[in-house]
Amino acid sequence: MTETAAWDTYSKQKPERRPVNAAGETTWFNWTQYPDHGPGTEVLSITPGANVLDLGCGKGGNLAHVATLGARPVGVDMSMAQIKGAEARWPDIKLELHQAEATRFLAEGEEQFDAVFSVFGAAWFTDPAALLPAVRRRLRPGGVFAFSQRPPVEGCYGCQASYITRSEDEDPLVVKRWDYEPDRWTSLLEEHGFTAVAARVIPAPPGPRKIGTLLVHAQG
């Protein structure tokens, strides 16, 4: 319940996605924390009719773009506030949305997915020992699993604490996240049976901010 409250709180704090991107598009896919930067859905190799799952879908910005490619978009998020935000933001795009914890959702079904992704989402905030086998079980052979998050701070690896602030009169809420260097993520995925694993840090765009984005990509 604490994590659900934390993500509901985060939902209220996160800025709304822009109406259009720099190219004037109303939907787009963004792996990084920077607008109009980095690769897009080519990472996922999505084809029309594919079943695509977003773990930690938030307000559905990336998932909505997946829908425009002719795929079946399925999103999971712990926060009902995020789910309702997605429904309000994309009323004309059919998104299949579920309020659930990621590993529980994966454990309770049998349907196979052609691609599973997470952008600063459940793949960052779920113990990989539980998440990776659950994802692989639901990923069709040869399907793509990809996720992005901030790179770890040097020397700070494994389970870390993230604080989500509230009012001045309330203590922050705490959620756990898992930080590893690219080589360690590669080893973890290979240990759980994934193949063609690639992990890299995408540099930040030119400007004052220097923290890049960790992008991990593998096949089931």
Q: What is the pLDDT of residue 8?
A: 86
Q: Which residue type is seen at 174? A: V
Q: What is the pLDDT of residue 15?
A: 87
Q: What is the pLDDT of residue 54?
A: 98
Per-residue pLDDT of the chain (220 residues; tens, 9 = 90+): 668 988 988 888 888 999 999 999 999 999 999 999 999 999 999 999 999 999 999 999 999 999 999 999 999 999 999 999 999 999 999 999 999 999 999 999 999 999 999 999 999 999 999 999 999 999 999 999 999 999 999 999 999 999 999 988 999 999 999 999 999 999 999 999 999 999 999 999 999 999 999 999 999 9
What tokens does 15 get? 């800025």
Q: What is the pLDDT of residue 29?
A: 98
CB 148 within 8 A of CB 119: yes
Phi, psi of 55 (to 5 degrees): -95, 110
Close Cβ partners of 214 (under 8 Å, ≥ 6 residues apart): 148, 149, 150, 151, 152, 182, 185, 199, 200, 201, 202
Q: Which residue type is seen at 145? A: F
What tokens does 30 get? 């963004």
Q: What is the pLDDT of residue 2?
A: 67
Q: Which residues of 60-96 are buried (b: 16+ CB within 10 A; e: fewer)?
A: bbbbbbbbebebbbbbbbbbebbbebbeebbeebebe
